[in-house]
Amino acid sequence: MTAMIELIDVHKSFGHLLVLQGVNLTVAKGEVVVVIGPSGSGKSTMLRCINGLEPIQKGRVIIEGEDLHGTKTDPNKIRQRIGMVFQSFNLFPHKNALHNVMMAPMKVQKKSRTEAEEIARDLLDKVGLADKMDAFPEELSGGQQQRVAIARALAMKPDMMLFDEVTSALDPELVAEVLGVMQRLAEAGMTMVVVTHEMGFAREVGSRLIFMDGGVVVEEGDPREMIPNPKEPRTQKFLSMVL
């Protein structure tokens, strides 16, 4: 079976700063891969390379068998199959919740307004925001905004979802509502790559844990084995500080 995501020897630098120094990663269908690591380890950059938001200098990114940087590939087409949720929500402030979710199905997939609205209402209901459809982002709490952002990404019916520290900007009491939505998504079989500091989520929901440092994958394994017994010294040091 083809992997959903395959990174082969991915190198990425910003000017002289080397951020990714040969990352290899394979994500199978239905896996929930949780990525942890100190800040500056390249985990967010790796996530952004998966959907081509960041160009890479060397290596290959293969999404469901298609080379993202292939000459015949339209990266916009591939991005439609990869949902992404950001730390800073990035909702469209000039649109209400419903229209935030409806926009991409209508403009990108050319779905009719009725069809897009049906999808959007259903998704907002599923993330628990049935009563907030008409609210603008500035009227919503961080947790609510992030749930709208998840619904917005899901509206494109993606094959996989990327989460980039999606709870880091939230007040502690709002973290659970977002993680809850993500957990349900994982249980429904969604392929997910989750960059996070939430070790509880990693342990309970993650099917694989990746520890990154210095632009490479240092260690990976089953989170339930790796968190209590990390093998690499760098993983041990990091985990001893965050747990």
Partner 1 sequence: MGDVANAFFNGEIFKESIWLLVKTLPTVFEVLILGLVCSYLWGLILSLMRLSRFRVLRYITGAYIDFFRGLPLLLLFVFIYYGLGTAGLKIGALVSGVLGLTLCYGAYSAEIFRAGIQAIPKGQTEAARSLGMTNGQAMRYVILPQAIKLVVPPLTNEFIAMIKDTSLMSVIAVPELLFRAKEKMGVVANPTPLTVAAIIYVVFTIPLIRVAARLETRRRKRPTGGIPASGLTPEAEMKLLAADIAGQLPKGGEGH
Q: Which of 23, 91, 178, 186 binds partner 1 (CB under 8 A)?
A: 91
Verify binding: residue 173, partner 1, rule CB under 8 A.
no
Contact status: 57 vs partner 1 (CB under 8 A)? no
Distance of alpha carbon 232 from alpha carbon 13, whole angstroms: 25
Contact with partner 1 (CB under 8 A): which of 27, 32, 56, 79? 79
How near is the Cβ of 215 to partner 1 at its closest, in Å?
21
Tokens of 197: 């500091």
Of 68 and 153, nearer to partner 1 (C-beta) is 153
72 or 94: CB nearest partner 1: 94
- Is residue 29 within 8 A of residue 4, CB to CB? The reply is yes
- Identify whether the C-beta of residue 7 lies closer than 8 Å to the C-beta of residue 212: no
State the minimum distance, in angstroms, from the CB of residue 238 to partner 1. 27
User: Which residue from 69, 107, 113, 197 is in contact with partner 1, where contact means CB under 8 A?
Assistant: 107
Task: Please report where in the chains the tokens 């392929």 appear, as a residue.
Answer: 191
Q: Partners of 171 in the beta sheet?
A: none
Angstrom distance (rounded) from CA 227 to CA 209:
9
- Structural contact between residues 49 and 10, judged by C-beta atoms closer than 8 angstroms: yes
CA gyration radius, the chain: 18
Residue with Cβ nearer partner 1 (137 or 230): 137
Of 56 and 104, which CB lies nearer to partner 1 in the complex structure?
A: 104
What CA–CA distance (Å, rounded) separates 180 from 69? 34
The interface mask with partner 1, positions 124-163, x = CB under 8 A, is: -------------xx----------x--xx--x-------
CB 194 within 8 A of CB 33: yes
Q: Does 170 bind partner 1 (CB under 8 A)?
A: no
Distance (Å, rounded) from C-alpha 153 to C-alpha 35? 20
88 binds partner 1 (CB under 8 A): yes
Q: Which residues bind partner 1 (CB under 8 A)?
A: 51, 53, 76-77, 79-80, 82-84, 86, 88, 90-94, 103-104, 107-108, 137-138, 149, 152-153, 156
